[in-house]
A = this chain, B = another copy of it.
Amino acid sequence: MPRVVGYSPERREGIAALKAGAITEMADSATSAASSADLVVIAAPPAATVQLLPRISRALGAGAIVTDVASVKAPIVAAAVAAGLADRFAGAHPLAGTHGTGFDHASPDRLRGCVVYVCATGSDGGERAARGVSGFWQDTLDASAVRIDAGAHDRQLAWTSHLPQAVASALAHALAERGLGPLTFGSGGLDTTRLAASSPELWTDIFLQNAAPVAEALDAAQADAGRLAALIRAGDRAALRDYLDAAAIFRRGLDR
């Protein structure tokens, strides 16, 4: 790609991206970065993405399309439509994040070959934008673009991504309250709590923008944990083994 214009509110991040060759130019605002672009990619937390959309809409050149990468899609697609971008926007969500944030955690291969959800606005023009955004992911990053309705995306991600984050944070919170030291954790405890290190600012946003489905999923996981505690207390070896078998079969199936 001959020209990649970047902007970050953290100037240090822009300079790091420029030095690494991830961008070819650094703009001094989001709107100036967007004004000359054919494709605008907003890579910001959900609330910031919602705020940027009307500003970018006003700065956008003729024929340009806009996308984002946030983990919630329905509020963002709605904000894009409200900003007059119904025919020029498609939301995207690559399943390729880590608990890290910022350019320091970027890597040239992070997004290569990933699954990326693409959510159209629903208008005919939005359909063209969604094809353009899907093509961008497929052609430049060999990603598998999966078209999905924004609401269905958010209900699914409440379980597959937001729930694991919430569970990791709740587990870390419980361990923090117990006052356990760093040397006492093995790799299992470190892995299971790893997501708790993710940006609290970002996840406050995501949880609030997808509140009802996430709270519902968290209720279900809590009920399932309660069933496990009851089996352990009852000393019911056969039922406990069945429970752990079902969990193991499911998890081993994810590696195939």
**The one of B95, B193, B220 that contacts A254, using a Cβ cutoff of 8 Å:** B193
Interface of chain A: mostly helix, strand, loop or mixed? helix
**The one of B168, B184, B228 that contacts A169, using a Cβ cutoff of 8 Å:** B228
- Of A7-15, A55-63, A156-164, which stretch is located at the interface? A156-164
Q: Which residues of B contact A226 (CB under 8 A)?
A: 222
Q: Chain B nearest CB: distance from A149 CB in Å?
A: 15
Q: How far is it, in angstroms, between the C-alpha of A243 and the C-alpha of B170 when the chains are bound? A: 9
Q: How far is it, in angstroms, between the C-alpha of A253 and the C-alpha of B176 when the chains are bound? A: 10
The reply to whether A229 and B225 form a contact with Cβ atoms under 8 Å apart is no
Q: Chain B nearest CB: distance from A159 CB in Å?
A: 5
Q: Which residues of B contact A3 (CB under 8 A)?
A: none
The reply to whether B180 and A188 form a contact with Cβ atoms under 8 Å apart is no
Q: How far is it, in angstroms, between the C-alpha of A169 and the C-alpha of B229 when the chains are bound? A: 11
- 8 Å CB contacts to B: which residues of A75-131? 95-99, 115
The reply to whether B169 and A243 form a contact with Cβ atoms under 8 Å apart is yes
A138 lies within 8 A of chain B by Cβ: no
Q: Chain B nearest CB: distance from A99 CB in Å?
A: 7
- 8 Å CB contacts to B: which residues of A150-196? 156, 159-161, 163-178, 180, 182-196
The reply to whether B169 and A99 form a contact with Cβ atoms under 8 Å apart is no
Q: How far is it, in angstroms, between the C-alpha of A184 and the C-alpha of B117 when the chains are bound? A: 10
The reply to whether B208 and A253 form a contact with Cβ atoms under 8 Å apart is no
A204 lies within 8 A of chain B by Cβ: yes
State the oligomeric state as a number of copies: 2
Q: Which residues of B contact A171 (CB under 8 A)?
A: 163-164, 167, 221, 224
The reply to whether B229 and A215 form a contact with Cβ atoms under 8 Å apart is yes
Q: Which residues of B contact A169 (CB under 8 A)?
A: 228, 243-244, 247-248
**The one of B164, B188, B189, B250 that contacts A173, using a Cβ cutoff of 8 Å:** B250
A97 and B229 in contact, given A164-B171, A193-B251, A244-B203 (Cβ under 8 angstroms):
no
A243 and B173 in contact, given A180-B159, A218-B228, A232-B215 (Cβ under 8 angstroms):
yes
**Residues on A facing B (Cβ under 8 Å):** 95-99, 115, 156, 159-161, 163-178, 180, 182-201, 203-204, 207-208, 211-212, 214-215, 217-229, 232-233, 235, 237, 240-241, 243-256
Beyond known contacts A159-B180, A176-B247, A188-B198: 12 more, CB 8 A cutoff? A95-B186, A159-B178, A160-B186, A166-B229, A168-B192, A170-B228, A174-B223, A191-B194, A192-B192, A197-B251, A215-B232, A222-B226
